[in-house]
Amino acid sequence: GPYLDSLPSPENVTKITAALVPYGKAENPTVDVYLVLPQDIGKHGLGQFLMGCNRVGRPHDLHLNYMANPNEWNFAKDRTTLVTRNLLAEGIVQKLTVPCLTWVDVFEQYGVRSVDQLKLDTEGMDAELIEDLLVTTAIRPRFITFETVHHDEEVLESAIDCLRANYYSVHVTD
């Protein structure tokens, strides 16, 4: 995709256009990814923050309720009074279909034997993917960094418990 193509391509790095899914959710061979293309952000005068607002399986919240200053959403007492745009309905949001891969698929297909640092930002599936990694594979990254927002509290606590059970030191920051 366009965002992956824009990242640097250092030696010994393989870019994969796919959706990483937990083992138990790998029943579908493909999934849709919703995004706003970089050129459309400029063309429609949208905020650059939309480059980080892509989502697997369904449109991102800001695709459906776009506002120039998304902090308004976080601090609004009554969100029904906010003026938003539905970028999906406006035809600005693109949908790409990509293959679904599990950790096991990735590690086997690309010959991964170890991971030094793993960093995830999946808009809500990070904790589930971390726990799935630790349950379904023998790979134990030295360092794991992931986003804790957009998570159900039980799922997040379960992932943290799993990390601790695998001898990780857990540090939560804002």
CA distances from 95 to 61, 99, 158 (A): 15, 13, 32
> Region 144-171: what's the mean pLDDT?
91
| Confidence at 151, pLDDT banded by 50, 70, 90 | confident
Amino acid residing at 45: G
pLDDT for residue 174:
63
pLDDT for residue 7:
84
pLDDT per residue over 64-120, tens digit each? 989 888 777 777 788 778 888 999 999 999 999 999 999 999 999 999 999 999 999
pLDDT for residue 26:
67
Instruction: Show Cβ contacts of residue 107 under 8 Å, excluding neighbours closer than 6 positions.
Output: 113, 137, 139
Neighbours of 74 (CB within 10 A): 8
CA distances from 60 to 137, 144, 165, 172 (A): 30, 24, 33, 24
> Region 29-51: what's the mean pLDDT?
93
Amino acid residing at 110: Y
